[in-house]
Chains A and B, each alone.
Chain A
Amino acid sequence: MLFYQLFKSLIGQTITIELKNDIMITGKLISVDQFLNLKLSDVQGTDPKKNPILSSLKTCFIRGNVIRYVLLPQDQIDTQLLKESAIKEAAKIKEEERKMQNRK
Chain B
Amino acid sequence: MNLEVKEPIDLVRLSLGEKIYIKMRGDRELRGTLHAFDQHLNIVLSNVEEVLTVIEIDEETNEEIMKTTRRNFEMLYIRGDGIIAIAPPKRF
How many chain A residues touch B (Cβ–Cβ < 8 Å)? 27
Q: Which positions 49-104 of chain A face chain B at CB distance < 8 Å?
A: 64-65, 67-74, 77, 79, 82-83, 85-87, 89-91, 93
Query: How many A-B Cβ pairs are below 8 Å?
Result: 73
Provided the pairs A3-B42, A77-B44, A79-B46 are in contact, do residues A86 and B79 lie with their beta carbons within 8 angstroms?
A: no
CA separation between A90 and B13, bound complex, in Å?
8
CA separation between A36 and B35, bound complex, in Å?
18
How many chain B residues touch A (Cβ–Cβ < 8 Å)? 23
Main secondary structure of the interface of A (DSSP, over half): helix
Contact indicator A70/B77 (Cβ below 8 Å): yes
Contact indicator A65/B38 (Cβ below 8 Å): no
Q: Could you tell me which B residues sit within 8 Å of A by CB distance?
A: 1-2, 9, 13, 16-17, 35-39, 42, 44, 46, 73-79, 81-82
10 shortest interchain CB distances as A-B pairs: A70-B77, A74-B74, A72-B75, A86-B36, A74-B75, A82-B36, A82-B35, A79-B35, A67-B79, A2-B38
